[in-house]
Amino acid sequence: MFDALSGRLQAALGDLGRKGRLDEEAVSKAMREIRLALLEADVNFQVARDFVAAVKERALGHDVLRGLNAGQQVVKIVHEELTELMGSGDSRLAFGKPPTVILLAGLQGSGKTTAAAKLALHLRKHERRTPGLVAADLQRPAAIDQLEQLGRQIQIPVYRTDTTDAVAAARSGVERATADGIDTVLVDTAGRLHVDEELMDELVRVREAVKPLNVLLVLDAMTGQEAVNVALAFQERIAFDGIVMTKLDGDARGGAALSVKAVTGKPIKYASVGEKLDQLDVFHPDRMASRILGMGDVLTLIEKAEQAVEADEQEEMERRLRAGEFTFDDFLASYRMLQRMGSFKSVLKLMPGIGQQLDGLEVDEKQLARVQAIVLSMTPQERRLPHVINGPRRRRIAAGSGTTIDEVNKLLQARKQMQKVMRQVGKGKMPSIPGLPRGS
């Protein structure tokens, strides 16, 4: 979503970095580029103007830190201001005496029902909660059926009530969930195609009935500035505590995510970054600012890796790394771990210095699948002891995987190179990289 904005900001700051010192003319030119980039990204006009003014004031009035050149200094300032813009404080959910009730509100089509299921799964996996879902969306046809289907997929109970009264459905659902020992109850409420009095009145009554500790507004990032307008309309009637931003993996320009905290004062707490039910992340403004500026996101990369690998697997991989071993069994384990972390390109974007090089690059996931097919066509002995793979075995592996002998040979050679690198790393040496001097 932020690719276009990221490219424009990096270009503007890159030009500034080539200057020997910070002067008003150079800073003003860079700020004009940044302002245009923000407006093209559909950032609220007032938000963009205030952001640029704050950066410019700090860039011209700030003492240059020791060890930072002019460009690095402004990048640091822009990073800090972007973080502040999206909400620098702690925005975690509040949990009280069970049950903690969480009310989800939003317009129809914002992804509210799916977000409810994603949040329930996230709370169970990462907060060790026992969640339940209450179906109180009685307006949209099949909304309750959708929630029940999602609940079955993630094995989380869904409480429905055969009534046409949303307040009664919400109250009954919370009471039954409490009786079942549920400590976190998520109430999925009705949405409309637009903000209207009937919708708001119903939400107010549901809120009064279930007394939620957290009210979350679900916003579709693809709607741009309209999402900010929706947030303001809800804020006037429903004092929500935070925002769940959906479809942040889409191709919209990202203005809503950058504007909504500044306009409403309420932080984005969670962001949906994919269609799968486990693709809901806690929103970290500082990490998002780093991604926008092409700095990568090492902390998120580490968290994804920790979630994707079991403790015993991690210990074994570390042992083999120190020993400088890399068999095709290790390759399979690494490949499956990457699959659990998400798409290969999304993982690469989290690596510092790599994200900005991926513009226009299409990562062929099918090619990765072909590599896996080659490995799976090997016998357990061949995967464990690749040196036994001779000519006849290579022909058999190629035929079994639907690939060519040339592709098998390339993979065997790549494994040898990887093992060399791992042996160097295992001995505490930095491997040499073509095109870079030693020690880089």
- The verdict on 342 and 273 lying in the same domain is no
In contact, 170 and 224? CB cutoff 8 Å:
no
Euclidean distance between CA atoms 418 and 92, whole angstroms: 41
On the question of pLDDT at 434 being above 50, the answer is no
Domain hosting 45: range is 3-86
Is pLDDT above 70 for 208?
yes
pLDDT-based confidence at 436, cuts 50/70/90? very low
What CATH number should be reported for the domain holding residue 395? 1.10.260.30
Which of 60, 86, 112 is at the close of a domain? 86
Q: What is the pLDDT of residue 344?
A: 59
Indicate if 23 and 52 belong to the same structural domain: yes
Residue of higher predicted confidence among 75 and 431: 75
Last-in-domain residue among 86, 116, 136: 86
Considering the domain architecture, whether residues 282 and 309 belong to the same structural domain is answered as no
Residues 62 and 155 in one domain: no
Both tokens of residue 110? 């914002």
Residue 62 lies in a domain: yes
What is the reported pLDDT for 214? 95
Same domain, 128 and 51: no
Q: Please, which pLDDT band fits residue 285 given cuts at 50, 70 and 90?
A: confident
pLDDT of residue 167: 95
**137 and 259 in a common domain:** yes
Q: Is pLDDT of 397 > 70?
A: yes
Residue 306 lies in a domain: yes
SS (H, E, C) 304-360: HHHHHCCHHHHHHHHHHHHHCCCCHHHHHHHHHHHHHHCCHHHHHCCCCCCHHHHCC
CATH number, residue 223: 3.40.50.300
Residues 264 and 350 occupy one common structural domain: no
Q: Among 168-177, 191-200, 391-400, which stretch is predicted with the lowest mean pLDDT? A: 191-200
**Averaging pLDDT over each range in 2-16, 280-294, 413-427, which range is the top one?**
280-294
Residues 129 and 182: beta-carbon distance below 8 Å: no
pLDDT-wise least confident of 93-102, 129-138, 414-423: 414-423
For the cut 50, the answer to whether the pLDDT of residue 437 exceeds it is no
Name the more confident of 398 and 361. 398
Q: Sheet of 131-136: strands edge to edge?
A: 158-159, 131-136, 184-189, 100-105, 214-220, 242-246, 268-272, 280-282
Digit-coded pLDDT (tens) for 176-191: 999 999 999 999 999 8
Structure tokens at 195: 């903000």
**Whether 44 and 186 share a structural domain:** no
pLDDT at res. 428 = 55
In whole angstroms, how far apart are CA 355 and each of 34, 110, 344, 361, 440?
19, 28, 12, 10, 19
Asked, for residue 195, whether it belongs to a domain, the answer is yes
- Tell me whether residue 282 is in a domain: yes
Give 342's pLDDT tier (boundaries 50, 70, 90).
low
pLDDT of residue 431 exceeding 50, the answer is no
* 75: CATH: 1.20.120.140
The token duo for 18 is 């080539």
Query: Tens digit of pLDDT for each residue in 58-111?
Result: 888 755 555 456 677 788 888 889 889 888 766 788 899 999 999 999 998 889
pLDDT greater than 60 at residue 1: no
pLDDT score, position 154 = 96
Mean pLDDT of 36-52: 89
User: 13-23 pLDDT, tens per residue?
Assistant: 777 766 656 77
Q: What is the mean pLDDT of residues 402-424?
A: 83
Quote the pLDDT of residue 253.
64
Q: By mean pLDDT, which of 113-117, 162-166, 308-312 is the weakest?
A: 308-312
Residue of 429, 192, 423, 198 whose CA lies nearest to 321 = 423
Alpha-carbon distance of 87 to 207, in angstroms, equals 26
Residue 316's pLDDT band, with cuts at 50, 70 and 90, is: low
- Note the pLDDT of residue 215: 95
Whole-number mean pLDDT of the chain? 81
Whether residue 128 sits in one domain with residue 191 = yes
Q: Are residues 173 and 217 in the same domain?
A: yes
Q: Residues of the chain with pLDDT > 70: what percent?
A: 76
Confidence of residue 326 (pLDDT cuts 50, 70, 90): confident
What mean pLDDT do residues 409-426 have?
A: 76
Q: Do residues 325 and 409 both lie within one domain?
A: yes
- pLDDT value for 366: 72
| Domain-embedded: residue 436 | no
Count of domains in the chain?
3
Please state the φ and ψ torsions of residue 132, each to the nearest 5 degrees.
-140, 155
Q: Tell whether 179 is covered by a domain.
A: yes
Is residue 362, in this structure, part of any structural domain at all? yes
Same-domain pairing of 140 and 228: yes
Choose the final residue of a domain: 232, 261, 289: 289
* Model pTM above 0.95: no
| Residue 92 domain flag | no
